[in-house]
């Protein structure tokens, strides 16, 4: 039997859980797992259920919409592997980690293509038979380069874009059509060390813990909703190169954790923050 993920968000009011579970119950849906959360500060309600059963999506959606608040947002998605592309530059650790996981069948996604602005990762991509597109940015305006990438993306029907150490800043023109669809790994414990070379910044500041942050990309550099973070203790013996080396392991694990959560439809974005069930 098919499994579905139902995600609902709306203004909070009394009886929402009752109303939703009433409708799901009457539609003979089996709930495997459900979670809800109320953001009290903003009186906002979030609900997610993993269900199975026979039902008509449009009817169910209609019933839910008609008994829930006007601002209700519903998504009913068949549980399936997501279609993604991975963007990278030269470093292979983050991309490689995704490729290995994909290869073993443990990634809840199909990698439709890898796009890079350099040729370095071509060989690795080809080892795993993933189409690799190098779109160089050399001698091009940001606008021109992004247009070329967007052109390529148009022909690919994708759910998410994973930036696996893609070392270029994306303009808001690029980001806008893919809002909530682009996941980046930033190599610092955000909001510390926004921007370029965070390990050097961390080294210079003399921190005792370094970290990495996976987040959705929005218009402001490194300021999108945070999905996952992790850290590692360092000490004065670490040069910034040592921090970078140690940091790569954190980057891999944090990006890995974040995409697992997103591909499993467990993440809501609201108010530039994430609610994760």
Question: Distance between CA atoms of 40 and 48, rounded to whole angstroms?
Answer: 17
| Cβ at position 2, least distance to its own copies in Å | 17
Cβ–Cβ < 8 Å for 157, 199: no
145 versus 248: smaller Cβ distance to its own copies: 248
| Cβ at position 84, least distance to its own copies in Å | 19
Residues paired with residue 214 on neighbouring β-strands, in sequence order: 185, 228
Closest CA to 32 of 265, 237, 235: 265
143 versus 271: smaller Cβ distance to its own copies: 271
| Cβ at position 233, least distance to its own copies in Å | 6
174 versus 193: smaller Cβ distance to its own copies: 193
Location of structure tokens 């997610």:
48
Q: How many residues does the chain have?
A: 277
Residues that bind its own copies (CB under 8 A): 14-15, 17-18, 21-22, 24-25, 30-41, 91-93, 96-97, 99-101, 103-104, 106, 124, 127-128, 189-193, 205-209, 211, 225-231, 233, 235-237, 239, 245, 248-249, 252-253, 256-257, 271-276
Question: Distance between CA atoms of 147 and 157, rounded to whole angstroms?
Answer: 17
Closest CA to 113 of 70, 161, 75: 161
Question: Distance between CA atoms of 121 and 92, rounded to whole angstroms?
Answer: 7
Q: What angle do CA 254, 258, 262 make, to 5 degrees?
A: 175
130 versus 170: smaller Cβ distance to its own copies: 130
Angle between helices 16-26 and 57-67 (to 10 degrees): 150
| Cβ at position 110, least distance to its own copies in Å | 18
Residue ranges in 193-232 assigned as alpha helix (H): 198-205
| Cβ at position 195, least distance to its own copies in Å | 13
Active site residue 222: yes
145 versus 244: smaller Cβ distance to its own copies: 244
Residue ranges in 155-197 assigned as alpha helix (H): 172-175
Catalytic: which of 22, 157, 173, 222? Answer: 222
124 versus 137: smaller Cβ distance to its own copies: 124
Question: Distance between CA atoms of 214 and 229, rounded to whole angstroms?
Answer: 6
| Cβ at position 218, least distance to its own copies in Å | 12
**Checking DSSP bridges between strand 3-11 and strand 44-52, what pairing results, if any?**
antiparallel
Q: Which residues are catalytic?
A: 222
């Amino acid at each position: 039997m098919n499994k579905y993920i139902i995600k609902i968000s709306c203004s909070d009011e009394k009886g929402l859980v009752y109303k939703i579970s009433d409708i799901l119950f009457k539609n003979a849906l089996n709930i495997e797992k459900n979670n809800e959360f109320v953001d009290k500060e903003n009186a906002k309600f979030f609900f997610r259920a993993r269900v199975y059963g026979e039902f008509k999506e449009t009817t169910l959606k209609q019933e839910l919409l008609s008994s829930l608040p006007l601002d209700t947002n519903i998504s009913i998605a068949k549980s399936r592997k997501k279609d993604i592309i991975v963007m990278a530059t030269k470093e292979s650790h983050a991309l490689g980690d995704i490729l290995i996981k994909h290869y073993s069948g443990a990634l809840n996604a199909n990698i439709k293509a890898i796009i890079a602005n350099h040729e370095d990762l071509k060989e690795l991509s080809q080892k795993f038979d993933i189409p690799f597109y190098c779109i160089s940015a050399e001698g091009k305006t940001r606008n021109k380069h992004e247009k070329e990438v967007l052109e390529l993306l148009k022909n690919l029907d994708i759910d998410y874009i994973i930036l696996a150490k893609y070392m270029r800043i994306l303009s808001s023109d690029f980001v806008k059509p893919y809002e909530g669809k682009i996941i980046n790994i930033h190599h610092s414990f955000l909001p510390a060390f926004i921007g370029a070379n965070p390990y050097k910044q961390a080294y210079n500041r003399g921190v005792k813990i370094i970290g990495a942050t996976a987040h959705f990309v929005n218009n402001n550099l490194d300021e999108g909703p945070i999905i996952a973070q992790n850290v590692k203790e360092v000490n004065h013996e670490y040069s910034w190169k040592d921090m970078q080396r140690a940091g790569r392991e954190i980057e891999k694990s944090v990006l890995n954790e974040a995409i697992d959560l997103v591909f499993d439809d467990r993440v809501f974005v609201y108010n530039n923050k994430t609610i994760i069930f």
